[in-house]
Chains A and B, each alone.
Chain A
Amino acid sequence: MDLSFGQEYEEFRAEVRQFVEDNRDKQPKARDYRSEDAVAWQKKLIENGYTLRTIPKEYGGLGAEPDIIKSRIIAEEFGRAQMHTGLAGQGISMLTPILLEMGTEEQRQEFIRPTIVGEMDWCQGYSEPGSGSDLASLSTRAELDGDEWVINGQKIWTSGAHRADWIFCLVRTEPEARKHHGISFLLFKMDTPGIEVRPLVDMTMTPNFNEVFFTDVRVPKHQIVGKRGEGWQVANALLGFERGSLAPPDAAQSRLNALIKIMHQETINGERLIDNPLFRERLMKIQGRVMAMSYNDMRLLSARINKNQDTKLAAMVVKLQGTELRHELEGLAIDVMGEIGLSFGDNPYVRDAGTWQFQYMYYLGLIIGGGTNQIQRNIISERGLGMPREPRAKVK
């Protein structure tokens, strides 16, 4: 165990702290994703090496050596100040890593720079009405016609499709092949003729996701990642990236700090919430769980540089534990605030811009999205513990 950061890193920490101090007022509001503000902020963070540090220079990043300690310090300092850590859309957190690993040089050149600064926005077209957990059964078809794919079918729950410039999409290209072997991974523009986006209002009453219909959508043949029929492998690599990023412990720590602040500021019957022993007990219980996930995360980070550590299970539990924990943490804030905690939307008494109710619901969405937590449990027991798969029930 060696957690010493050393002089160089203490200087780096001082730098980050200074940046946080100087820019506290300049950060964009948490929820207005992709405003001019947010893009400017994102560029500033990339220039300073405070987000996406390791993306190579030729693709618009800083090209920094992977430095787990610096990333850690940045996360800690931003978390402590509850500072906006930059954009984290599906293009940034899912597509960029996969293009770096599996894309062609032309694809990296074309897509990564605009994506990471927030100028090119992406949506993920995987789920279909008949194919959610059983994603590999998807039926949207793409047929080759000369130099173009011709796409027909429907996607659903497509987050951000209404504002996305591009989509990365799973389509069936080899209908004769077994289900996992007939899928390809295509990239195309959302303004291509034949695409219709219908907003789908979610429980936060925001049209965050959509139904997307494809009618004879024509896409250039080369806009495929990986080989024809290998889209499932590409998608699975992506799901790995998505799951890790769905419930980052630093964000939980930052929300916990915000909750502690509320409990010191708000009163009921003249008593501060923190002075109520029942609320305090619940706060401490959550704090213990947040701590466990933070040290688990340290262990995972460390395993990335010290390759001899076995952290398979530690990594598998992050999505399941992290999303449940956040849902409970946000719910606790609502509970301690009483009626005030109900406030949502345009209400003069709403606290923290309504983020507590919003995130409480949002994390329920994440418990379902990205592979439901039941599917996570299947994965942990089958791939983690080696327990057998459920035999298939046959339709009578």
Chain B
Amino acid sequence: MEFGLSEEQTLLQDSINRYLSEELPLDQVRKIATGDVPDSSVWQGLTELGIPGLLIPEAQGGVGLGYLDAAIVSESLGYHVTPGPFLASAIIAPVALNLAGGQEALLSSIADGSRRVGIAFGEAVGARADAGFTVADGKISGKSLFALDSNADDYLVADADCNLYLVSAADVKRTNLSTVDMTRSTCELVYDNAEATLVSRDVNVFIEALDAGRTMQAADTLGAAQSMLDQAVAYSMQREQFDRLIASFQAVKHMCADMVANLEPCRAMVWYAGHALDELPDEKRLMACHTKAHLQEVGQQVAKTSTEVHGGMGFTDLVGLHYWFKRIGANRQLLGSPEMLREEAARIQGFAA
């Protein structure tokens, strides 16, 4: 029995961290966030490291790794507020396409970086009055909101019954929807009798893809929050007030200790959730819901506290701490808020109808 990361997993995480610290300084994140540089610049580099094909079988040119491996990659991406379509194109879409079967060609082009697949899951996760669509005879009409990735080539669209369709970006009217999180894009998709290819009618395909996505969001928040904590401690060790390092003020120390106390147990929880997706079918649903919900609560506390430790500087664009703050905020809202997820956790255990 060993509860922890294997040597290979540690190496994988080290190599991605090394790549991101060299290639993705905050300046670069800024340029992508403000639109001066396309997010494909980072995605290209990550493609060379095999990231889009992490979960794609080797037969389709992927790396064929497991969910826990993907979770630690996701943690690193969160730590470096990495722009790009990881959540949709490397996790949710490949998981669904692979389980659904018959999508080998598309999986290959995701793995080699030539296509990006976004997702539009709003109708299945939490339908809104200002969106909605119908599908009939292979044609889709209507609207999706907050589809992940404004630069995708195709979209995997879920309807209210969790059926999955593939729609080409070329056939839809797409408008970028700006959010606070400028490191990842979301958009509105308007369909006007567009081609919609049925990918799956199996609700379990949808659920597994969603669970995987939620677990990766939790991992992303773990990384982003860890970075905020590290930045808070580092800042406190160089900023002086009242002729002292602010790190020597107990109020500051206790804020940092509380961040550690909340965040450190989350690491084990995220690992376990990743492992559950790989190996524990009876637990994986509950883990995905609870892990995303819990990480978002802790992430929010860390995001606020770290900003406070930085004082007025934390509130400026100069130090850029807000990129992490907003990333964590986006992970909280997308694909299910904590309250929604906890109610789902209650349903999974038979505590709610």
Binding site for B on A (CB under 8 A): 1-5, 68-69, 260, 274-275, 277, 280-281, 283-285, 287-289, 291-293, 295-296, 298-299, 301-303, 305-306, 309, 313-314, 316-317, 320-321, 374, 376-378, 380-382, 384-391
Contact B346 A284 (CB under 8 A): yes
Contact A377 B4 (CB under 8 A): no
Nearest neighbor of A67 in chain B, beta-carbon distance: B1
Contact A3 B265 (CB under 8 A): no
Which of B1, B287, B290 lies in contact with A3, CB distance below 8 A?
B1
A-B contact count (CB 8 A): 158
CB-contacts of B247-271 with A (<8 A): 247-250, 252-254, 256-258, 260-262, 264-269, 271
Q: Which residues of B contact A3 (CB under 8 A)?
A: 1, 3, 275, 279
Contact A314 B248 (CB under 8 A): no
Given A309-B4, A320-B261, CB of A295 within 8 Å of CB of B269:
yes
**7 pairs of A and B residues whose beta carbons are closest in the complex:** A381-B253, A284-B342, A302-B3, A295-B268, A377-B257, A296-B265, A288-B294
Given A1-B4, A295-B269, CB of A277 within 8 Å of CB of B244:
no
* B318 interfacial contact with A, CB 8 Å: no
Given A292-B269, A321-B265, A384-B260, CB of A302 within 8 Å of CB of B248:
no
Q: Give the distance in Å from the alpha carbon of A301 to the alpha carbon of B1 in the complex.
A: 10
Contact B1 A292 (CB under 8 A): no
Q: Which residues of A contact B253 (CB under 8 A)?
A: 377-378, 381-382, 385, 387, 390
- Can you list 30 A-B pairs with a CB-CB distance of less than 8 A? A1-B4, A1-B6, A1-B68, A1-B274, A275-B352, A277-B343, A283-B351, A287-B290, A291-B290, A291-B294, A292-B265, A292-B269, A295-B3, A295-B265, A295-B268, A295-B269, A299-B268, A301-B3, A302-B1, A306-B4, A313-B260, A314-B264, A321-B265, A378-B257, A380-B261, A381-B257, A384-B257, A387-B233, A390-B250, A391-B244
* B319 interfacial contact with A, CB 8 Å: no
Q: Give the distance in Å from the alpha carbon of A21 to the alpha carbon of B244 in the complex.
A: 61
* B313 interfacial contact with A, CB 8 Å: no
Q: Which residues of B contact A374 (CB under 8 A)?
A: 254
* B165 interfacial contact with A, CB 8 Å: no
Q: Which residues of B contact A5 (CB under 8 A)?
A: 1
Contact A387 B261 (CB under 8 A): no
* B145 interfacial contact with A, CB 8 Å: no
Contact A293 B265 (CB under 8 A): yes
Contact B264 A313 (CB under 8 A): yes
User: 14 new A-B pairs (CB below 8 Å) besides A277-B343, A299-B267, A380-B260?
Assistant: A1-B278, A260-B351, A284-B290, A284-B293, A288-B297, A293-B265, A296-B265, A299-B268, A314-B264, A314-B267, A376-B257, A377-B254, A386-B237, A388-B248
Binding site for A on B (CB under 8 A): 1-6, 68, 233, 236-237, 244-245, 247-250, 252-254, 256-258, 260-262, 264-269, 271-272, 274-275, 278-279, 287, 290-291, 293-294, 297, 339, 342-343, 345-346, 351-352
Q: Give the distance in Å from the alpha carbon of A277 to the alpha carbon of B353 in the complex.
A: 11
Contact B260 A281 (CB under 8 A): no
Q: Give the distance in Å from the alpha carbon of A385 to the alpha carbon of B290 in the complex.
A: 28
- Overall SS of chain B's interface: helix
Which of A291, A295, A390 lies in contact with B248, CB distance below 8 A?
A390
Smallest CB–CB gap between A314 and chain B, Å? 5
Contact B264 A284 (CB under 8 A): no
Q: Give the distance in Å from the alpha carbon of A389 to the alpha carbon of B252 in the complex.
A: 12
Nearest neighbor of A313 in chain B, beta-carbon distance: B264
Q: Which residues of B contact A390 (CB under 8 A)?
A: 248-250, 253
Contact A1 B339 (CB under 8 A): no
Contact A380 B275 (CB under 8 A): no
Nearest neighbor of B253 in chain A, beta-carbon distance: A381
Q: Give the distance in Å from the alpha carbon of A280 to the alpha carbon of B297 in the complex.
A: 17
Q: Which residues of A contact B6 (CB under 8 A)?
A: 1
Q: Which residues of B contact A306 (CB under 8 A)?
A: 2, 4
Q: Give the distance in Å from the alpha carbon of A309 to the alpha carbon of B268 in the complex.
A: 12
Q: Which residues of A contact B261 (CB under 8 A)?
A: 317, 320-321, 377, 380
Given A306-B2, A309-B4, CB of A284 within 8 Å of CB of B248:
no
Contact A298 B268 (CB under 8 A): yes
The residue among A260, A303, A309, A317 with the most chain B CB atoms within 10 A of its own CB is A317
Which of B1, B267, B272, B290 lies in contact with A68, CB distance below 8 A?
B1
The residue among A299, A376, A389, A391 with the most chain B CB atoms within 10 A of its own CB is A299
